[in-house]
Amino acid sequence: MPTPTPPTAAFYFDLASPLAYLAAERMLHVFADAPEPVEWRPALARELRGATVDADAPAPEEIERRAQELGLQPLRWPDPYPFDSSFAMRAATYAASIGRTVPFAQAAFRQSFAGGHSLQDPDFVLIAAAACEMHPAAVLAGAELRSTVQRLADATVTAALAGATDVPAIVLGESVFVGEDAPERAAEHMRRERGGRDAVSHTR
C-alpha cells in the first residue's frame, strides 16, 4: 500500500480532545483570510507518538478557564471522560467523505464539551450528525465501512509522518504546530510565508 501523503495544509483533530475542541472553535475565524484552505482531518490521538497522557494533560480548571477567555460557552465535561472516540471518529471520517467534516466536527465537539455528552454513546454522535443534515442510518452504515476504517487509519499515519505528535495539530507543508494555540501560530507562519513570497515577487 502506498504511503499516504499529507495535504498542503491540514488541521488534525480527535473528538475526544478538549484542546482540539478549543482549537476547532477558532479555526474558521483565524484562517478566514488564509491564502489557501486548511483541510480538517480526523486522526486518532492515541495512535500518535507523544500524545498527551492523563498525567501530562492540562488540569480541567485550566481548560475551563481557557474556554472562558475565548468567550465560549462554559465547558461541561462529558461523562465518562475521557471517553472512547472510536465510533465518533469513524463517523467524522465518513462525514469527510461526503464533504461534511467541518459542520459535523463542530456539532460533535459542542455536543461533548458544551453539552456535556459523551460521544462514546452513539446517540449523541447521531444527534450531531443530524444537526448537519446527515441521516442517522447513513452515518451508522458509513462508520462501519471498511473504507472508512482505512481512511481514518491512513489519516492518522499521515499525521504522524508529517510530524504531528498529538492533537490538535496543524501541518503546513513541512511545518507542524501542535497544541491548543496551534491555530494562531500556524496562521502567523502562513502570513509570514505569504509576505516573503510577495516581497520576492516585487523584486523581480
**Taking the CB of residue 2, how many other CB atoms lie within 10 A of it?**
5
The whole-number average pLDDT for the span 61-80 is 96
pLDDT for 199: 42
pTM above 0.85, yes or no: yes
Q: Is a pLDDT exceeding 90 seen at residue 4?
A: no
Q: What confidence category does residue 35 fall into, taking pLDDT thresholds of 50, 70 and 90? A: confident
| Residues above pLDDT 70, as percent of the chain | 88
pLDDT for 50: 67
Q: Is a pLDDT exceeding 70 seen at residue 48?
A: yes
Tens-digit pLDDT profile for residues 105-152: 999 999 999 999 999 999 999 999 999 999 999 999 999 999 999 999
Residue 165's domain comprises 9-202
- Asked if residue 187 is part of any domain, the answer here is yes
Give Cβ neighbours of residue 1 (< 8 Å, ≥ 6 apart): none
- Asked if residue 3 is part of any domain, the answer here is no
**Taking the CB of residue 113, how many other CB atoms lie within 10 A of it?**
30
- Asked if residue 2 is part of any domain, the answer here is no
- Asked if residue 1 is part of any domain, the answer here is no
- If one counts the domains in the chain, the total is 1
- Asked if residue 27 is part of any domain, the answer here is yes
The whole-number average pLDDT for the span 158-174 is 95
Say how far apart CA 110 and CA 9 lie, in whole Å: 24
- Asked if residue 4 is part of any domain, the answer here is no
Q: Is a pLDDT exceeding 60 seen at residue 12?
A: yes
Q: What is the DSSP letter of 50?
A: T
pLDDT for 201: 43
- Asked if residue 167 is part of any domain, the answer here is yes
CATH number at residue 160: 3.40.30.10
Nearest to 170 by CA among 29, 5, 67, 24: 24
Least confident of 16-25, 45-54, 141-150, 170-179: 45-54
The whole-number average pLDDT for the span 23-49 is 94
- 40 bridge partner residues: 11
pLDDT for 93: 98
Q: Which three cell numbers stand for residue 130?
A: 443530524
- Asked if residue 145 is part of any domain, the answer here is yes
